[in-house]
């Protein structure tokens, strides 16, 4: 009986020692497979294909340009949401909030217009070639 317990405990200890290495080996093979797939994709990648992309071609400081355009659209979206809020308040009879909402939306549009004009002037003076046409 003691021999069976001793042999069983030795087998259990051996299995416990081997178990952490099995998932590590599987993880290693998965990582190697992913690495090989990426190497195959990089070998088929052609650098000349990147030259055809001219979305931001000739624009200086493209990251700043993208940030400015995103901020302009966010501000206009805020103004649109504020007008929606104002119209909902007017429908519910809360005219005070409707007037405040409409006033806030107009302030957002005005400051956005100044922000847009500022970056338009800076872009033209410094020759950054940004496509920021003024609003009509």
pLDDT over threshold 90, residue 74: yes
Considering only CA atoms, which of 127, 83, 70 is closest in space to residue 109?
A: 83
| Look-up of token digits 């998965």 | 30
pLDDT band at 5 (very low <50, low <70, confident <90, very high): confident
H helices present in 2-133, as ranges: 2-18, 21-44, 48-51, 62-91, 95-126
Whole-prediction pTM value? Answer: 0.54
> Are 52 and 85 in contact, with CB atoms under 8 Å apart?
no
Give Cα separations from 42 to 107, 122, 133 (angstroms).
50, 40, 39
> Are 60 and 128 in contact, with CB atoms under 8 Å apart?
yes
The C-alpha R_g of the chain, in whole angstroms, comes to 32
pLDDT in tens, 21-67: 556 666 667 677 777 777 777 677 666 665 555 555 667 888 888 89
Domain ranges, ordered by start, for the chain: 2-45, 62-126
| Look-up of token digits 């970056």 | 119
Lowest-confidence segment of 2-16, 45-59, 85-99 by average pLDDT:
45-59
């Amino acid at each position: 009986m003691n021999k069976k317990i001793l042999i069983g405990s030795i087998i259990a200890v051996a299995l416990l020692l081997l178990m952490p290495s099995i998932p590590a080996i599987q993880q290693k093979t998965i990582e190697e497979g992913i690495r090989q797939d990426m190497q195959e994709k990089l070998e088929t990648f052609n650098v000349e294909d990147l030259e055809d992309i001219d979305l931001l071609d000739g624009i200086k400081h493209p990251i700043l340009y993208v940030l400015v355009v995103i901020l302009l659209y966010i501000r206009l979206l805020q103004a649109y949401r504020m007008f929606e809020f104002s119209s909902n308040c007017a429908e519910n009879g809360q005219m005070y909030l409707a007037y405040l909402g409409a006033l806030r939306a107009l302030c957002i549009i005005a400051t956005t217009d100044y922000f847009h004009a500022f970056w338009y002037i800076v872009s033209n003076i410094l020759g950054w070639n940004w496509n920021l046409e003024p609003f009509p």
